[in-house]
Chain A
Amino acid sequence: MSDPHPSEITTLLQAMAEGQPGAADQLVPMVYDRLRDLAVRAMRRESEGHTLQPTALVHEAFLLLVDQRSTEWKNRTHFYSMAARIMRRVLIDQARMRLAAKRSGGLQVTLNESIHGVDDDPAQRTVDIIAIEEALTRLESLDERPARVVELRFFAGLDVAETATVLNISPASVTRDWVFARAFLKRELLLAEGEA
C-alpha cells in the first residue's frame, strides 16, 4: 500500500476535528499501518540494543503524515489524541505476536541506554506490556477519563496542558487523574504477581 499523501491525512484530520462522521474511520487504518511500520522498524533496532520510545514514533508519524504547512494546533492535538490510541493498539498487537511466536511478551519500552546513573541490571528492564494493557483496559471499564490521560501522556507524550486541552478538563484534573491511574495500574501489576 502506498504511503498516504500528507494532505490527505491533513484533510481528514480537519474533517475529524469538525466532527464529520466517517473521517476517523478512514483515518485510523492509514495511521495504524504507518505507526505499525515505524514500530516494527524500531523494534528491530531494539533487538540490537536500541529502545522503543512510543512518543518519538508518534512524533515521527505526525511529521510524516500531516502536512506541516497547513496544520493548526488543534489538528495536532487531535492527531496525537488519535495516534495515542492507535499506538497503544500497535504495541499490544506486536507484543501478542511476539508472545505467540514464543518470544518474550515483554518489550524494552524504556529509555536510552546511557551512562549517567544507569542501573547495572539491563536484564530487569523488560516490561510486560500486555500486563499493563490489561490493567489499563480494566481501568477503562471502571472510569474512562483517567485511562485516557494515561493513553495520551504515555503513548503520545502530551504534557499536562495539552492533555487538558484534548480532554477539555483543567490541568489540575489531569494531574489528579494521572496520579490515581498510576496507583491503580501499579496495584494491578502487584496483584497479578501475587505481591499485594
Chain B
Amino acid sequence: MTPDRFAQVRVLWESALEQPVTEREAFLARAAPADPELRAEVMTLLQAHDATSGTFSGNAVLAAGLDFLDALPSLAGRRLGAYQVTREIGHGGMGTVYEAVRADDQFTKRVAIKTLRVGSDSAEVLRRFRRERQIQAALAHPNIATLLDAGATDERVPYIVLEYVDGLPIDVHCEQKRLGIAARLNLFQQVVRAVQHAHRQLVVHRDLKPSNILVTDDGVVKLLDFGISKLIGDDHEETLTGAARAFTTAYASPEQIRGEPISTATDIYSLGIVLFRLLTGANPFDLEGIAAATAWARICDQPPRALGAAATAATATAMGYASTDRLARALRGELEAIVLMALRKEPDRRYPTADALGEDLLNHLRGHPVQARPDSAGYRIRKLVTRNRLATAALAVAFLAMAVGTVAAVSQAREATAQARIAEAERTTATRVSGFLQKLFASADLSWAGQGLGPNTTIAETIDSATGKIDTELVDEPAAAEALHRILVSMYTARRNPARGEPHALRVLELLGQRKASNQEMARGLHDLGIQLYLAGRRDSSLALLEQAYGRLEADGFPETENLVFILNQLALLAMDAGDPPKAEGYMSRALEVHRRVFGDDLLAAIATGNVGVMRNAQGDLAGAERAFRQAEAIHASLAGGENYERGNNLTNLGGSLLLLGRIEEAERNMREAIAVYDRTIGPAHLVQGVGRINLSRLELADGRPTEALATVRRGIELLDGLPPEHPTRTGGATQEAAILLALGRPAEAEPLVRWALGIRERWYPPGDWRTAETQGVLGQILLARGQSDVAIELLQSSHQNLSTALGPADPRTFAAERAAKAAGAGDGKGSVPP
C-alpha cells in the first residue's frame, strides 16, 4: 500500500460512504470493476466504520478500543441544536452521555444527551425516531425518563435528548439508604409499574439493569433507555450466536444470548436478575472474571444459585442483619420461589406479565398465598405418575434389573475373596434402591396433569426429577444414594449432557470422601467428574481432575483395573485436544494393553481401539486409521452384551476415513449403518445423532448431492441443541453447512456461518490444528466466490500450509487444500469445496 494507492482508496471511500448500506457492494462493483483489491480495501473500511463494540463483547480489549474511537471527540462545550452541552457525565455501552441545558434564556432545564453509536445510518435512526414519536409520547410515565428529542451532530453522529435524572442506580440507592427487604420490594414495585406500562405499549426494554434504573434522593424510580434498542434497530441485527448483539451479559436472558426472539418475557427475566441483586447484593450466576463464552454457557444451562448462597455480607449489613446467615434465612421459601420463577430459562414459564411478578411480591409481603411454585421434587413427581399403574410397575421392575447389572459390573475387578462379601452388600443396596423407587412411583398422588412427561418418559428423567429426594430419602443409606447418582452420571454421559451429569458426579465424589473411599474408588469418582467437565468443554479443569485420578492410581502402584483403562483413555483424548496426537496414541495404546489383559475384548476395548483410529487420522495416517476402526468394529460386532451406541460412533469414524480415501459407496454404507445403530440403541433424538448426520452430509456433498446434504446437515445441527452455544462441536455443523451453501451458490449465506465457526475454533483448538485449518479453507473458498480474491488466496494458502504440517503432505485433505489454493491463484473465480 503506497500513499498514491491510498489516495485512490480515499476517493472511492468518499463516494461509497454516500451509498445506502445495502447498495454498497453493487456500487463498488460498478465503480471499480477491474480492481478487486481496491474494492476490498474500501469494503473493509466501510465495515470497520459500522463496527461497534457490541459485536465484540467477548473481546474486552477490542471492544474498549472501538468504544474509545467511537466516543471521540467530546462534545463538552458544544452547541447541539437547541441545547448547550455543559459536561460529559459518563460512557455507556451504547454511547457517551452528556449533561446539557436548553440554550434559550427562558428555560434552564437540565437534560441528558446521549450519543448513539450506530455506524453509518444516522438518517435511518432519525427516521425511525420520528415514526416512534407517538410511542414515545405514550411511554410518558412518572417512572420512565422521557425521551425528549433527537438529532445528529455535524459529524452525522445521532444523539437523543433525555429527561435528566439525578439519581443513583437502584442497587446503590438501596445500600446507601440501608433499606430492608420490605422497603426494597416496595421500591421495586415502581420498576414493575414502569415496565408494565411500557409492555402495554408493546415496547420491550431489552437491557434492564441497575444502571438503567435510577432512584432520586426522594425515592422516585426512573427507568432509562426504553425504546433505544428498537431505535437503533436491534430487531434487524443478525441472530447468530455470538454475533452482532448488544446486551449486558450479567443481565441477559438465555434467549438473548442464543439470539432467539425477544419478548416481554425477556424483560421479566432481567427484572428477576435485578431483584436477585437487590435481595442479595450479587448476581445469580457467579460471573466474576470469566470469559464471555463461559458466562453465556452458565446463563443458558446452569440453574441460578440459591438466594441464601449468594447473599453478600455488605447487603446483609445494609439491611440490618447481623450476619449473612440471618439474611439467607429470610430469603428462603417464597421469596426465592418468586425470584426463581422470573429466572426460568424458558420464557413461557416465567411470570406472564410484570404485574404478575409485582403482585406476587405484594402477596408475599402481605402474607397472602403466592403464585410461584418452586420446582420441587414433589411437584415434579406429581406430574410424572401416570394413571396407568401397570406402566408404573413395569418401569420400576426394569430399573431393578438395571441397578443390579450396574452394581455387578463394578464388582468385576475386585479380588475373589472380597467379592462374595461385597456382592452380598450390593444385593442389599440394589434392593434398597428399588424399594425407594417403588415408593417413589406408588406414593405420589395420581392427579398427574400430563405436562409433557408421560408414559414415554425415560427412567433417567424419572429419577432425575427425584434428585432432590435421593439424598433426603436415602440419607441413612449413602451407598444406595451413591449408586443412584452413579447411574445418573453414566446415563447423562451417554446422552452427552454434562449440565445434568455434573451435579451427580460431584455428589458421588462428596459421598466417596465422606466414607473415606479407597484410592481406586476416588480415582473413578474423579474420572467421572472429569468426563462431565470435558463434555462441557472445560478441558483444563478436566485435565486437572484426570491427573489427580491418575495420581491416585499411581499411589497404589497402577493395579491393572478398569479404572486405569478409563483414566488412560481420557488422558489420551485430552492429549488429542491439546494437539499432541503422538502422546495421545501413547496413552491409548497403554490403555488398550491393560484392558485386554484385564477384560479381554469387550466394549471398552472396542472404544479404545476406535480412539486409536481417531488419533491416527489426526496424524494423516489414514490407512492405519482404517485398520483400527475395522478392528474396533470387529470387537463391537462380537460383543456378548449386545449393541452399544459407541459402535455407531466407530462406524461414523470409519465412514469418515473411507470418504477421505475416496471410497464413497463404502463410506456411505457405514455412515448410514451408524445412524441405524444410534436409532437402535439411544433413540432418534440424540446429540451423537447430530454428529453422525453432519458427517453424512459431508459425504452427500462429496457425492454431488448438495440439496440432500443441506437437509441432512440442518437436521444434524438441530440435534446438537443441547450443547452450550459456543461448543466446538457446533462449529463442525456450521462449517459443513457453509460448505454446502457455497456449493449451492449461496456464499453470502455461508460466510457468517463459517466466520463464526472459525472464531470459535481459533479459540478452542491449539494453533495449527487441522480442523481450524479446514475451516479457514472453507472461508477462503467463500471469499473467492464473493470476489475478495486477495484475502481468499491468503487464507487458502495458509490453510494448505497448516494442513500440510498437521496431517502431512500426502493426506487427501492436504491435497484438496493445495488444489484449492492453486486454483484460486490461477484466477479461477469459482468457489467449490472439495470433500
A110 within 8 A of B: yes
A131 within 8 A of B: yes
What interface size band does chain A fall in?
Answer: 35 or more
A186 within 8 A of B: yes
Chain A 172-196 residues near chain B, CB threshold 8 A = 175-176, 178-180, 182-187, 189-190, 193-196
Query: Which residue in B64, B70, B88 is a CB contact (below 8 Å) of A106?
Result: B64
B92 within 8 A of A: yes
A154-B72, A185-B69 as given contacts; A190 in contact with B155, CB under 8 Å? no
Asked whether B6 lies within 8 Å of A111 as measured between CB atoms, the reply is: no
Query: Which residue in B48, B64, B70 is a CB contact (below 8 Å) of A128?
Result: B64
Of all chain B residues, which has the CB nearest A124?
B60
Stretch at the interface among A31-39, A66-74, A85-93, A115-123: A115-123
Asked whether B59 lies within 8 Å of A120 as measured between CB atoms, the reply is: no
Chain B 277-296 residues near chain A, CB threshold 8 A = 289
Asked whether A117 lies within 8 Å of B65 as measured between CB atoms, the reply is: no
Chain A 155-185 residues near chain B, CB threshold 8 A = 157, 159-160, 171, 175-176, 178-180, 182-185
Asked whether A180 lies within 8 Å of B13 as measured between CB atoms, the reply is: yes
B168 within 8 A of A: yes
Query: Which residue in B10, B46, B69, B72 is a CB contact (below 8 Å) of A143?
Result: B10
Shortest beta-carbon distance, B96 to chain A, in Å? 7
Asked whether B89 lies within 8 Å of A127 as measured between CB atoms, the reply is: no
Asked whether A176 lies within 8 Å of B14 as measured between CB atoms, the reply is: yes
A178-B155, A179-B49, A183-B46 as given contacts; A125 in contact with B64, CB under 8 Å? yes
Of all chain A residues, which has the CB nearest B164?
A116
B51 within 8 A of A: yes
- Residues on the B chain within 8 Å of A127, using CB: 61, 64-65, 67-68
B679 within 8 A of A: no
B353 within 8 A of A: no
Query: Which residue in A113, A114, A141, A157 is a CB contact (below 8 Å) of B74?
Result: A157
Of all chain A residues, which has the CB nearest B87?
A112
- Residues on the A chain within 8 Å of B214, using CB: 115-116
Asked whether A118 lies within 8 Å of B211 as measured between CB atoms, the reply is: yes
Asked whether B248 lies within 8 Å of A120 as measured between CB atoms, the reply is: yes
Of all chain B residues, which has the CB nearest A131?
B65
Asked whether B73 lies within 8 Å of A153 as measured between CB atoms, the reply is: yes
A127-B64, A195-B62 as given contacts; A116 in contact with B112, CB under 8 Å? yes
Q: Hey, which bits of chain A sit against chain B, CB under 8 A?
A: 55, 106, 109-121, 123-128, 131-132, 141-143, 153-154, 157, 159-160, 171, 175-176, 178-180, 182-187, 189-190, 193-196
A-B contact pairs, 30 of them (CB 8 A): A110-B67, A111-B88, A111-B90, A112-B89, A115-B89, A115-B90, A115-B168, A116-B165, A116-B224, A117-B114, A120-B248, A123-B289, A127-B64, A128-B65, A142-B1, A142-B3, A142-B6, A143-B6, A143-B10, A154-B72, A157-B73, A183-B13, A183-B48, A185-B69, A186-B48, A186-B49, A189-B69, A190-B62, A195-B59, A196-B44
Q: Hey, which bits of chain B sit against chain A, CB under 8 A?
A: 1-3, 6-7, 10, 13-14, 17, 44-49, 51, 56, 59-74, 77-78, 88-93, 96-97, 99, 112, 114, 154-156, 164-165, 167-169, 209-212, 214, 224-225, 248-251, 289, 759, 762
List 11 extra interface pairs beyond A117-B97, A159-B73, A195-B62, CB under 8 A. Answer: A110-B91, A114-B89, A114-B97, A115-B168, A116-B164, A117-B225, A120-B250, A132-B69, A182-B69, A183-B49, A187-B45
